[in-house]
Amino acid sequence: MGKESTRRAFLTTMGVTGVVSLAGCSSLPGGGGGNKPADPSGTDNGTATTTATTTTSGGSSGGSGGNNAPGQSVVDFSSVKDWQPAAGKLSTTTKDVFQGNQSVALEPKGGENVAKITKTFFSDSGGENALDLTKHDLSLAAKIKKPNLKLQDTRMRIAVNVIAPAESAMVTAIRQFPRELDGWVRFDLGYTDKTGNPKLGNVTKIEIQVGPRQDGKKFKVLVDDLRKVPKGNKGKVMLQFDDGFYTTYENAFPMLKERGWPGSVAVIPNAVNSEEYVTSQQMREMSKAGWDIVGHYGQPLSTMKAEQQKQALQQVQQYLKIQGFKQGAKHFVLPNHRLNNAALKNIDELFETAYLQGGCPNNAKYPSNPSFISRINGESIRGSRRIIDMAAEFNQLAVLYFHEIGDGDGWLPKADFKKLLDYIEKKNVDVITPTQLTKNK
């Protein structure tokens, strides 16, 4: 009898019949249950509840990452005389800022679908470089203003090119944003690609580009407070397994255990002990082996009212604590990568870290906004290798997430998963959990 049929027989014996009615992130639209990168746009039949927030003193809205931001400011945008528009329109506003007295607004014009600004850095009279990023990463604050939140695909991307010292030698950071989020938020600029052999001790130009809007509509994006954040001394990789499928225990767990690596499994409380999902005993076994058992939920938070969101998050956290996973209860994985302002505020109040599709690495010492940590779909092997390369070379954190590991339809085959683990093992990186990340703080 195979492992799958054996487990089903066990569950039947225990009196578990059928699957709990719920929608995990792999079954909802855009959840990425197969071997393709997840589409964080998805669809919903509920009402997205958003609360517009204007901050005037360090991003005081919950989850924005403004308060106690690490590092030091590179550009506070109190003056834009050194910034040149390369595409679209550049303007300023004093009415909607993240910190200080003004922010910069970027929007396309004419037939353009992107907006882009550049700033050049020069060496001073003593020969010192104006911007040295050998020991620092960058973070930025942004607010994406959309004309219609009900459009099905309104994701925005912010790309930053760090040119060091010429366009033939640069690194690029691209961050994706969930479609419902339209408040200020700080985020790490994790490198997604490089050209040539960049010398980050000699950064001569920074380019910030917003867009394109995938639906082709007009948009406006505010940016503020470009900071440099002390970087880690080594690259790190985090392996997360969404929804708590039983294949995490039967297939992924032993493969990581052979290498002495921990992982984290994001469980939906109502699904535990159901057919196709992990059991309480299996979770305890993984926890004893160093894994984090973290929070997840079966419905996108952005389809719920703010108070309902908070109650749902509290229930997830309470469940983990009662089950004995007190460390894992401090961390949360966004269902469907969907997030609005209210959810970000609630998460920031209840959890130490939270994760969603962002498409780029993060600061490996401690992300500048731990409620908004970027991750990528590990089932895209080629994309995963590229992000792992960047994290290893530039001492950043790559968070990879998976769903089903095994030989089922739409699952990531064990052979492919092993190849990815072999690839990580060849790199000079540490494999960590969310709890281990917070110990760096």
Contact 51, 349 (CB under 8 A): no
pLDDT given for residue 46 in this prediction? 30
For the chain, the distance separating the N- and C-terminal CA atoms, rounded to the nearest angstrom, is: 48
pLDDT band at 59 (very low <50, low <70, confident <90, very high): very low
Q: Token pair for residue 237?
A: 């990789």
Return the residue matching tokens 């492992």.
3
The full 3-state SS of 44-77, as one line of letters, equals CCCCCCCCCCCCCCCCCCCCCCCCCCCCEEEECC
pLDDT in tens, 89-136: 999 999 999 999 999 999 998 888 899 999 999 866 555 557 999 999
- Cβ neighbors of 409 (< 8 A, separation 6 or more) are none
Q: What is the pLDDT of residue 157?
A: 92
| Cα separation, 74 vs 338, whole angstroms | 30
CA angle (45, 46, 49) in 5-degree steps: 145
> Is residue 237 scored above 70 in pLDDT?
yes
Q: What is the DSSP letter of 306?
A: H
Quick one: pLDDT at residue 63? 66
Q: Which residues, 6 or more positions from 195, have their beta carbon under 8 angstroms from its beta carbon?
A: 167, 168, 169, 170, 171, 172
pLDDT tens readout for residues 276-295: 999 999 999 999 999 999 99
> Cα–Cα distance between 332 and 350 in angstroms, integer?
9
- Alpha-carbon gap, residue 352 to 355, rounded angstroms: 11
pLDDT of 19 above 70: no
Residue 41 CA to residue 152 CA, distance in Å, equals 7
In this model, does residue 24 exceed pLDDT 50? Answer: no
**Residue 45 confidence (pLDDT):** 29
Indicate whether 5 pLDDT > 50: no
Q: Is the pLDDT of residue 275 over 60?
A: yes
Q: Which domains does the chain have, with CATH numbers?
A: 3-44+234-438 (3.20.20.370), 72-230 (2.60.120.430)
Arithmetic mean of pLDDT, 422-426:
98
d(CA 113, CA 363): 30
Q: What is the mean pLDDT of residues 398-409?
A: 95
> What pTM did the predictor assign?
0.86
Q: 173-197: b or e for each residue (b if 16 or more CB lie within 10 Å)? A: bbbbbbbbbbbbbbbbbbbbbbeee
> Which residues lie closer than 8 Å to 313 by C-beta, 6 or more apart?
295, 297, 301, 332, 346, 347, 350, 351
Q: What pLDDT score was predicted for residue 35? A: 30
In the predicted model, what is the mean pLDDT of the chain? 85
% of the chain with per-residue pLDDT over 70: 80
Q: Give the span between the Cα atoms of 237 and 388, in whole angstroms.
A: 7
Alpha carbon 335 to chain centroid, angstroms: 12
More confident residue, 212 or 306: 306
C-alpha 74/C-alpha 314 separation (Å) is 38
- Is the predicted pLDDT of residue 18 greater than 70, yes or no? no
